[in-house]
């Protein structure tokens, strides 16, 4: 009976130990594994010290779980017990990680916010609060994006009951688009006049003859129910213009990345043509190249091609330009370009841009005609950037 009780106790204790080990899934210290291996071999710590060449204290500190296992010690223990150094290092790192008490949930939240938007740049521009408080940052981004949750994809609303996501835009470019929409929403939205866009096109064309006339752009577009805003790009934004719908009203937003008369008017007319053609959404990136000129398109789809062709033709009728090229080329003097500009009532810089695009002249030729227009545009347009501030709380 005593013998039976003795074996029963052993079995019970073994089961309990196994159960405890089953439920305690935390990685163990490599010192515990080292003790077990010493018992299996019947070695003492002194013997292991002699075998490995490491001092008794170094062995004792590991066995008693005071120290971890270094790379050098891992190689020595692996050679002694016939396993691999990687195993010893794995046991050591797993134990360290399991005992790390720092809470990383805030790091994950912060990383999520930084992946959604360039927070520092937004703070510099005053688009969100200058704070590191996570609760405040999350609340600011929800308000900025006009969403109840920051989980999942954040889409850009471009028409009633319809959303379009632009997967090719980086976070900075998406933020730029949302800022443009936010600005447009504070502008009056007069009734859109789609049946009068041919008339609007003619009025816009007249403005392109003189750089300072661009200050009338907001007024003319508004007369036809089109809202117009200008947003200076933040780092990482290579968008020239966007045309979209919001609250049943079209919006044109420009970045004026390249302050040149040809780049500005081509981009403006390109976005106007998207609205005229009834395209649901357009975000034109790298439409104007800073060095080589016009029409480096990010997306060469049919709508983009139609908008580009229509914009080019609206500014300079194709037949007129072809006639000029056949009569004058390749000797395009400044005087002949100016004469042609007076004839068709357009700024000579726009002609220069078209000639550069067609490789009729080099991109360094006649650049003095590519005058700046940004200052005239932002004189009247709702503008964010270039040291122009918007009343706090308005957006």
User: Which backbone phi and psi does 242 adopt, to 5 degrees?
Assistant: -145, 140
Give the separation between CA 82 and CA 76, rounded to whole angstroms: 10
CATH top-level class for 2-99?
Answer: mainly alpha
Which class for 233: exposed (0-12), middle (13-18), buried (19 or more C-beta within 10 A)?
A: middle
Give the separation between CA 264 and CA 93, rounded to whole angstroms: 58
What is the CB neighbour count within 10 angstroms for residue 53? 7
SS3 375: helix
DSSP-assigned beta bridge partners for residue 385: 388
Residue 104: per-residue pLDDT = 77
Give the separation between CA 298 and CA 286, rounded to whole angstroms: 6
**Token match 């200052």: residue?**
375
Strand pairing class (162-164; 156-159) = antiparallel
229 with 239: CB under 8 angstroms?
no
Which class for 320: exposed (0-12), middle (13-18), buried (19 or more C-beta within 10 A)?
A: middle
∠ CA 123-129-132, nearest 5°, is 85
Give the separation between CA 284 and CA 261, rounded to whole angstroms: 18
Give the separation between CA 264 and CA 188, rounded to whole angstroms: 24
**Residue 133 has what DSSP assignment?**
-
Give the separation between CA 354 and CA 73, rounded to whole angstroms: 72
pLDDT tens over the chain, length 395 residues: 444 454 454 444 554 444 444 445 678 999 999 999 999 999 999 999 999 999 999 999 999 999 999 999 999 999 999 999 999 999 999 998 888 777 778 888 999 999 999 999 999 999 999 999 999 999 999 999 999 999 877 877 554 333 455 556 889 999 999 999 999 999 988 899 999 999 999 999 999 999 999 999 999 999 999 999 999 999 999 999 999 988 788 999 999 999 999 999 999 999 999 999 987 667 777 665 554 443 333 344 677 888 889 999 999 999 999 999 999 988 889 999 999 999 999 999 999 999 998 889 988 888 899 999 999 999 999 999 999 877 666 66
Between the two ends of the chain, the Cα-to-Cα distance in Å is 87
All residues at 6 or more sequence positions from 292 whose CB lies less than 8 Å from its CB, including other chains: 356, 363
CA Rg, the chain, in Å?
A: 35
120 with 129: CB under 8 angstroms?
no
**Can you say how many angstroms the Cα of residue 45 is from the centroid of all Cα atoms in its chain?**
58
Q: Hey, CA dihedral for 150, 155, 156, 157, is it positive or negative?
A: negative
Residue 82: per-residue pLDDT = 93
Strand pairing class (239-246; 288-289) = unpaired
**Token match 């949750």: residue?**
149
Strand locations in the chain, DSSP E?
A: 156-159, 162-164, 227-231, 239-246, 249-254, 282-285, 288-289, 293-294, 382-384
Q: What is the pTM of this model?
A: 0.78
**Domain boundaries, given as residue ranges, for the chain:** 2-99, 107-154, 156-384
Write out the two tokens for 278. 């009834």
∠ CA 25-30-33, nearest 5°, is 80
Which class for 257: exposed (0-12), middle (13-18), buried (19 or more C-beta within 10 A)?
A: buried
259 with 232: CB under 8 angstroms?
no
Give the separation between CA 60 and CA 232, rounded to whole angstroms: 65
């Amino acid at each position: 009976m005593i013998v039976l009780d003795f074996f029963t106790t052993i079995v019970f204790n073994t089961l309990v130990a196994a159960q405890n080990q089953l439920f305690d899934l935390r990685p163990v210290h490599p010192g515990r594994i080292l003790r077990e291996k010493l018992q299996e071999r019947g070695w003492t710590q002194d013997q292991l010290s002699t075998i490995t060449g490491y001092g008794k204290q170094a062995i004792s500190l590991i066995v008693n779980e005071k120290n971890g296992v270094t790379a050098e010690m891992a190689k020595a223990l692996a050679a002694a017990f016939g396993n691999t150094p990687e195993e010893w290092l794995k046991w050591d790192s797993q134990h360290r990680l399991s005992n790390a008490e720092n809470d990383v949930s805030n790091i994950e939240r912060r990383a999520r916010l930084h992946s959604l938007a360039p927070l520092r740049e937004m703070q510099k521009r005053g688009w969100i609060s200058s704070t590191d408080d996570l609760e405040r940052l999350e609340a600011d981004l929800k308000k900025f994006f006009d969403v109840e949750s920051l989980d999942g994809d954040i889409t850009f609303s471009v028409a009633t009951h319809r959303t379009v996501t632009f997967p090719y835009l980086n976070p900075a470019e998406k933020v730029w688009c949302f800022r443009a929409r936010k600005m447009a929403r504070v502008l009056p939205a007069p009734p859109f006049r789609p049946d009068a866009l041919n008339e609007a096109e003619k009025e816009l064309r007249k403005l392109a003859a003189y750089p300072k006339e661009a200050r009338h752009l907001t007024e003319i577009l508004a007369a036809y129910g089109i809202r117009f805003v200008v947003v200076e790009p933040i780092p990482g934004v290579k968008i020239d213009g966007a045309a979209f719908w919001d609250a049943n009203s079209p919006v044109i937003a420009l970045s004026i990345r390249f302050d040149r008369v040809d780049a500005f008017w081509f981009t403006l007319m390109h976005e106007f043509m998207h609205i005229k053609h009834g395209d649901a959404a357009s975000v034109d990136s790298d439409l104007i190249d800073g060095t080589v000129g016009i029409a480096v398109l990010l997306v060469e789809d049919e709508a983009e091609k139609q908008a580009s062709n229509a914009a080019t033709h609206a500014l300079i009728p194709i037949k007129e330009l072809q006639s000029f090229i056949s009569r004058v080329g390749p000797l395009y003097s400044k005087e002949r370009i100016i004469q042609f500009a007076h004839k068709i009532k357009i700024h000579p810089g726009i002609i220069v841009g078209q000639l550069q695009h067609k490789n009729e002249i080099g991109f360094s030729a006649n650049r003095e005609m590519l005058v700046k227009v940004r200052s005239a545009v932002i004189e009247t347009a709702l503008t964010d950037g270039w040291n122009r501030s918007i009343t706090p709380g308005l957006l």
